[in-house]
């Protein structure tokens, strides 16, 4: 259980993350109110044959499910998978996904792609399924993952693992009890650019002692605008109720309602907060966070969401080299500067993102990195074009000030402060990812299934559980206004 020195939070707060009854309530929508008894492992799922085709199903056909479908189509090699079935309670989503699959490369389709509304029915009628990709709302992850594992299927489940600590813990136990392949969708773990930064830059000490990390995911309010109905594709209320949703509005916008998710700090932040742990093989010692529902608060005709849309969190780590602090922000205000992570050491700084816009390293003036560029293969390379360190150096769509205007004359008189550091020497990572960002992670999962090798996974459930604890603690600190101090046992199942 995540510790806190603050009074118990209100019932609608983080206490839900550690409430077993809450987890069991969400499980009833999948398992009928009780966890399934262990079943015998599928002989198909236990085969070990590198390169064989894996028959797969997709559960959850919304935006994230579509990303997985697209990554499979564009980034997996020929014959790695065959889509057998898709499952979603909304006809609009499952029809759209199925149509896209049928229109793609035929090597990923073997005949028809069956469509199901109920996951039990799909698993019962499609016994050839070997692996299930789960991209449903977070509150369903734990029960659906256990169900599939106990049916003998390998599972790739999107992050966050669950919307509760108890649910995430049960997912680890489900893997331990079945022994099957179980990957969590923190796709940066398989991204060759991130692996290069971790193994060749940070672990090799090129940045020197790292004292600070920074991450952000800035989005404009329009990116979080409420999703509405699609003409001709309603979901009957009895179907919504059966699957745990109070209304169609909550079904469409589940991320912002406490019963189903944990808002942007979980939905977006988990990817990047996870990188603080993974890059340094470390776990935080404490976190302090602030934030709130600052925009979609129900005023001025805006929608009313429950989960904070703006969050800022400060983590503390104790590395062998000394203290490190990691700051993270997720904003529903402006999309300015997008999303990236920054690692700052005494010898240099590295910026990275799944977006190719951020691929920079900077050496301190006193540090010589030329030897790393001359290695074979090179660890770093010179920038392909002039580096623009300051925002005003980038291309802009607005008109520049006229000569003689206040702006120009003021800038002309500006003098650099004597305390300003010398310019850093720019470099770049030599690794380029030319497939969708989820593709390498899906490939890693399929390879593990092909060879029945759990150790091959880059993000097994035990590792993802540590991320879940790290993220949920920020949510707790935000609610209570108190610093959360971790114990090593908090990260163990």
> Do 137 and 75 reside in the same domain of the chain?
yes
Same domain, 27 and 155: yes
Task: Give the tens place of pLDDT for each residue, 223-281.
Answer: 888 999 999 999 999 999 999 999 999 999 999 999 999 999 999 999 999 999 999 99
Say if 40 falls within a structural domain: yes
End residue of a domain, out of 407, 428, 449: 428
Within a domain: residue 406? no
Please indicate, yes or no, if residue 411 is contained in any of the structural domains. no
Adjacent-strand bridge partners of 303: none
Are residues 224 and 271 located together in one domain of the fold? yes
pLDDT tens digits, one per residue of 203-224: 999 999 999 999 999 999 988 8
Report helix, strand or coil for 222.
helix
Q: Same domain, yes or no, for 342 and 368? A: yes
Look at residue 116 and give its three-state secondary structure.
Answer: strand
Same domain, 91 and 145: yes
Q: Name the strands in the sheet holding 359-363, side by side, starting at the edge strand that comes first in the sequence.
A: 425-428, 359-363, 348-352, 339-345, 210-220, 322-333, 310-319, 286-292, 484-485
For residues 356 and 44, the model is more confident at: 356
Q: Which pair of structure tokens corresponds to residue 243? A: 């699957």
Assess whether 128 and 138 both reside in one domain: yes
Whether residue 246 sits in one domain with residue 126: no
Lowest model confidence (mean pLDDT) among 263-267, 289-293, 322-326, 394-398? 394-398
Angle at 176 between CA 175 and CA 181, to 5 degrees: 40
| Helix-then-strand count for the chain, H and E | 15, 15
CB atoms within 10 A of CB 286: 16
What's phi and psi for 274, nearest 5 deg? -55, -35
Are residues 332 and 309 in contact, defined by beta-carbon separation less than 8 angstroms?
Answer: yes
Say which DSSP state 381 is in: B
DSSP code per residue over 44-63: TTT---TT--EEEEEE--SH
> 464 lies in a domain?
yes
Mark whether 220 and 153 lie in a shared domain: no
pLDDT above 60 for 16: no
pLDDT beyond 60 at 411: no
53-67 b/e (C-beta count within 10 Å ≥ 16 → b): bbbbbbbbbbebbbb
57 part of a folded domain: yes
Task: Among 374, 404, 428, give the residue marking a domain's end.
Answer: 428
Question: Quick check: is 8 in a domain?
Answer: no
Element (H, E) at 323: strand 322-333
Helix axes 141-150, 20-31, angle to 10 degrees: 50
For tokens 């912002």, what's the residue? 256
Q: Is 176 in the same domain as 198?
A: no
Check whether residue 335 and residue 476 sit in a common domain: no
Banded model confidence at residue 188, pLDDT cuts 50, 70, 90: very high
Domain of residue 23: give its range: 14-190+438-491
Cβ(17)–Cβ(163) under 8 Å?
A: yes
Q: Is residue 417, in this structure, part of any structural domain at all?
A: no
Report the domain count for the chain: 2
**Domain annotation covers residue 61:** yes
Q: Which residue has the higher pLDDT, 416 or 431?
A: 431
Final residue before a domain boundary, out of 394, 428, 462: 428
Tokens 């079945």 correspond to 178
- Same domain flag for 206 and 151: no
d(CA 370, CA 393) in angstroms, rounded, equals 26
Q: Do 303 and 315 fall into the same domain?
A: yes
Q: Per-residue DSSP letters for 327-377?
A: EEEEEEE--TT-EEEEEEESSEEEEE-SSTT-EEEEE-TT---HHHHSSSS
pLDDT of residue 395: 63
CATH number of the domain bearing residue 309:
3.30.360.10
CATH number for the domain spanning 100: value is 3.40.50.720
């Amino acid at each position: 259980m995540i510790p806190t020195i603050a009074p118990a939070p209100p019932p609608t707060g983080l206490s839900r993350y550690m409430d077993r009854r809450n987890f069991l309530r969400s499980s009833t929508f999948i398992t009928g109110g009780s966890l399934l008894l262990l079943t015998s492992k599928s002989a198909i799922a236990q085969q070990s044959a590198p390169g064989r085709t894996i028959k797969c199903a997709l559960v959850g056909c919304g935006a994230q499910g579509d990303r997985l479908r697209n990554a499979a189509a564009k980034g997996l090699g020929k014959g790695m998978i065959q889509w057998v079935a898709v499952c979603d309670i909304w006809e609009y989503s499952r029809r759209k996904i199925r149509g896209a699959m049928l229109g793609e490369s035929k090597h990923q389709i073997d005949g028809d792609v069956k469509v199901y509304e109920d996951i039990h029915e799909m698993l019962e009628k499609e016994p050839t399924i070997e692996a299930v990709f789960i991209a449903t709302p977070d509150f369903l992850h734990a029960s659906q993952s256990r169900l599939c594992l106990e049916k003998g299927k390998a599972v790739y489940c999107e992050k966050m693992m669950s919307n509760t600590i108890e649910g995430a813990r049960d997912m680890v136990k489900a893997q331990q009890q079945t022994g099957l392949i179980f990957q969590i969708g923190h796709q940066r773990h398989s991204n060759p650019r991130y692996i290069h930064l971790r193994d060749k830059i940070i672990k090799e000490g090129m940045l020197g002692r790292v004292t600070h990390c920074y991450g952000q995911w800035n989005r404009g309010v329009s990116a979080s605008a409420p999703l509405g109905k699609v003409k001709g594709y309603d979901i009957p209320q009895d179907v919504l109720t059966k699957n745990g949703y109070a209304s169609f509005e909550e079904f469409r916008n589940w991320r912002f309602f406490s019963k189903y998710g944990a808002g942007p700090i979980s939905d977006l932040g988990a990817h990047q907060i996870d990188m603080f742990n993974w890059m340094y093989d470390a776990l935080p010692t404490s976190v302090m966070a602030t934030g709130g529902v600052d925009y979609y608060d129900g005023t001025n005709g805006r929608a009313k969401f429950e989960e904070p849309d703006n969050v800022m969190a400060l983590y503390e780590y104790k590395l062998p080299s000394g203290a490190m602090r990691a700051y993270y922000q997720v904003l529903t205000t402006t999309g300015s500067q997008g999303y990236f992570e920054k690692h700052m050491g005494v010898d240099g700084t590295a910026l990275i993102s799944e977006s190719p816009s951020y691929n920079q390293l900077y050496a301190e003036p006193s540090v010589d990195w030329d030897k790393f560029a001359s290695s074979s293969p090179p660890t770093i390379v010179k920038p392909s074009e002039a580096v623009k360190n300051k925002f005003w150096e980038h291309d802009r769509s607005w008109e520049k000030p006229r000569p003689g205007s206040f702006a120009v004359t003021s800038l002309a008189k500006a003098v650099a402060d004597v305390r300003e550091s010398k310019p850093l020497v720019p470099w770049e990572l030599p690794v380029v990812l030319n497939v969708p960002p989820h593709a390498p992670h899906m490939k890693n999962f399929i390879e593990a299934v092909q060879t029945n090798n759990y150790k091959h996974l880059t993000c097994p459930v035990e590792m993802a559980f540590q991320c879940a604890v790290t993220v949920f603690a920020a949510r707790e600190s935000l609610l209570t206004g108190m610093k959360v101090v971790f114990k090593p046992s908090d990260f163990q199942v």
